[in-house]
Amino acid sequence: MLAAVVALAGWWAFSAERAPDRTVGLFTSLPIVWSEADDIKGMIDPPAAPHWARAVLESKGKVIALDTLLQLEQVDLLVVAQPRPLVPEENLALDAWVRAGGHLLMFVDPMLTQESAFALGDRRRPQDVALVSPILARWGLELQFDDGQPGGLRESAGEGLPINLAGAFKAIPGGHEADCAIARDGLIARCGIGQGQATLVADAALLEPEDDGDRRAVQLQRLLEGAMTR
């Protein structure tokens, strides 16, 4: 049922005319393309205030909301944001797609701080903790979390991104043909993987729905452009 809702929401949100030369796949548990509502109609009805990130993604091409990572053949740029846990086949498919030349921007938050209309344990709630250790380990990375850090929205020391209870990437042995450069504060890892490129961010506060002018849009644009450059 949830997969069908996501597919319907994606069809509605992105049925308008888009740039024909690039396909952007969006795989996320965050309410970027649909609303948090108790029924299907409420989820797929046009929200009163569309999420600001949707327009940024649409500027990069035709956006397709995905409910699986097993079919990425037609995707040119993939954005994964606080995903549900991946099944083993999806880990393999994602790794193969990037190695074949895919471009990935991935947000993995170890302690999501975005508010939700749904209570803890509700399956409709965004993924509170990103559980993506297998694919990160495949690329020679580990997502760490300092539970002693202060809470509250602040700017990252490296690139000025908004963060709140952020994680940090650490290099570990065993990366399979992945060459990752990790920012000094650990927030961002940029990896050359086979013929492809992955930009990984250890926090998802940037994608919160609050509108603070164009600043977040510019920051997301910059991350997308970086993910498309190799």
pLDDT of residue 133: 96
Minimal CA–CA distance to 79: which of 89, 100, 91, 64?
64
Amino acid making up residue 159: E
pLDDT-derived band at 11 (thresholds 50, 70, 90) equals very low
Q: Looking at residues 68-79, what average pLDDT do you find?
A: 96
Beta bridge partners of 145: 167
pLDDT of residue 196: 97
pLDDT digits (tens, 9 = 90+) for 163-215: 999 999 999 998 888 999 999 999 999 999 999 999 999 999 999 987 676 89
Q: Looking at residues 130-159, what average pLDDT do you find?
A: 95
Bridge-based pairing state of the strands 196-201 and 188-193: antiparallel
CA distance 187 to 156: 8
Q: State residue 90 phi and psi, 5-degree precision.
A: -70, -40
Statement: 2-227 belongs to CATH 3.40.50: yes
CA distance 47 to 117: 14
CA distance 44 to 33: 9
pLDDT digits (tens, 9 = 90+) for 182-193: 999 999 999 999
pLDDT digits (tens, 9 = 90+) for 91-125: 999 999 999 999 999 999 999 987 666 656 666 78
Q: Which two tokens stand for residue 46?
A: 């046009």
The three-point CA angle 11-22-207 to 5° equals: 65
